[in-house]
């Protein structure tokens, strides 16, 4: 869901400002998270926000890399809100709709967790890496077309993203599929007459198995 370990001129300051908070976060590199379908070993904490952290992890069943969004203890309500939106998104084909693929929700030591496919890096990070060298018109058009497809898919199920920005537009694999993007982060999304599927909000108040 977020990029793997990278250092850039954009991320250095953020890491410095959040270092103290990261040291005391409830999950760390090497921890094993126990989900309902699988177990995930944290390789590295690669992203953060007001909700908590994103962990670059490996699924111990499939050996595939995944991104696990781990919410801080006081952010359970935010986790439930995002899970509700992800339930609505389950009506879409993530590949065709250009939205991140969601795998499962679970708790670890009382913390709400959401497991997603692992993506490459955000468009914001791409621009940082390029030192803000402008994209070509063809590159902009390619990204825009995919975003319009994603937004149209969300509209078809009555969902408004609510936080559309370059940080939430992720490159799938820029090396093998240049400028192939997906939309992520539905924590601020809203909607009407949602047909919510596979949502279990009580999951986040159950005792942790981890």
| Gyration radius of the chain's alpha carbons | 17
What would the pLDDT profile of 128-140 be if each residue is shown by its tens digit? 999 999 999 999 9
178 φψ region: left (φ > 0), alpha (ψ -120 to 50), beta (else): beta
Task: Give me the count of residues in the chain.
Answer: 210
Domain extents in the chain: 11-119+195-205, 121-191
Q: Copy the structure tokens of residue 60.
A: 């111990």
Residue 201: band (very low, low, confident or very high) from pLDDT cuts 50, 70, 90: very low
Question: How many C-beta atoms surround the C-beta of residue 191 within 10 A?
Answer: 20
The class (CATH top level) of 121-191 is mainly alpha
In CATH terms, 11-119+195-205 corresponds, of 3.40.50.300, 3.30.200.20, 3.30.420.10, 3.40.630.10, to 3.30.200.20
Return d(Cα 31, Cα 52) in angstroms, integer: 16
What's the number of CA atoms in the CB half-sphere (13 Å) around residue 69? 28
- Residue 88's pLDDT is 95
Mean pLDDT of 158-177: 97
- Residue 49's pLDDT is 82
The residues with which 114 forms a beta bridge, in sequence order, are: 69, 105
What would the pLDDT profile of 63-114 be if each residue is shown by its tens digit? 999 999 999 999 999 999 999 999 999 999 999 999 999 999 999 989 999 9
**SS3 call for 81:** helix
Residue 197: band (very low, low, confident or very high) from pLDDT cuts 50, 70, 90: low
Could you tell me the pTM of the whole model?
0.83
- Burial zone of 58 (CB within 10 Å; 0-12 exposed, 13-18 middle, 19+ buried): middle
Q: State the catalytic residue, choosing from 31, 129, 163, 167.
A: 163
User: Is 185 one of the annotated active-site residues of the chain?
Assistant: no
Q: How does strand 32-34 pair with strand 39-48?
A: antiparallel
What would the pLDDT profile of 100-129 be if each residue is shown by its tens digit? 999 999 999 899 999 999 999 999 999 999
69 with 184: CB under 8 angstroms? Answer: no
Question: How many C-beta atoms surround the C-beta of residue 145 within 10 A?
Answer: 12
- Spatial neighbors of 181 by CB under 8 A, at least 6 apart, are 98, 123, 143, 146, 147, 169, 170, 171, 172
- Residue 10's pLDDT is 64
To the question of whether residue 69 is assigned a binding role by annotation, the answer is yes
- Spatial neighbors of 184 by CB under 8 A, at least 6 apart, are 1, 99, 100, 116, 119, 168, 169, 170
Give just the sign of the alpha carbon dihedral 125, 129, 134, 139: negative
- Residue 25's pLDDT is 63
């Amino acid at each position: 869901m977020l990029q793997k370990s990278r250092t850039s001129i954009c991320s250095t300051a953020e890491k410095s400002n959040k270092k103290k908070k990261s040291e005391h976060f409830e999950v760390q590199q090497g921890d094993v998270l126990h989900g309902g379908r699988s177990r995930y070993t944290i390789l590295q904490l690669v992203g953060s926000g007001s909700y908590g952290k994103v962990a670059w992890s490996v699924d111990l069943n499939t050996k595939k890399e995944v991104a696990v969004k781990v919410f801080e203890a006081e952010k359970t309500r935010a986790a439930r809100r995002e899970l509700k939106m992800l339930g609505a998104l389950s009506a879409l084909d993530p590949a065709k709709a250009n939205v991140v693929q969601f795998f499962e929700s679970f708790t670890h030591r009382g913390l709400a967790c959401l497991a997603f496919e692992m993506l490459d890096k955000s468009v914001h990070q791409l621009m940082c890496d390029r030192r803000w060298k402008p994209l070509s018109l063809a590159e902009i058009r390619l990204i825009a077309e995919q975003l319009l497809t994603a937004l149209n898919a969300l509209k078809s199920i009555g969902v408004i993203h609510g936080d559309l920005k370059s940080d939430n537009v992720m490159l799938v694999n820029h090396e093998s599929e240049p400028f192939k993007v997906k939309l992520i982060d539905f924590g601020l999304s809203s909607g009407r007459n949602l047909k919510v599927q596979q949502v279990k909000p009580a999951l986040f108040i159950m005792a942790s198995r981890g």
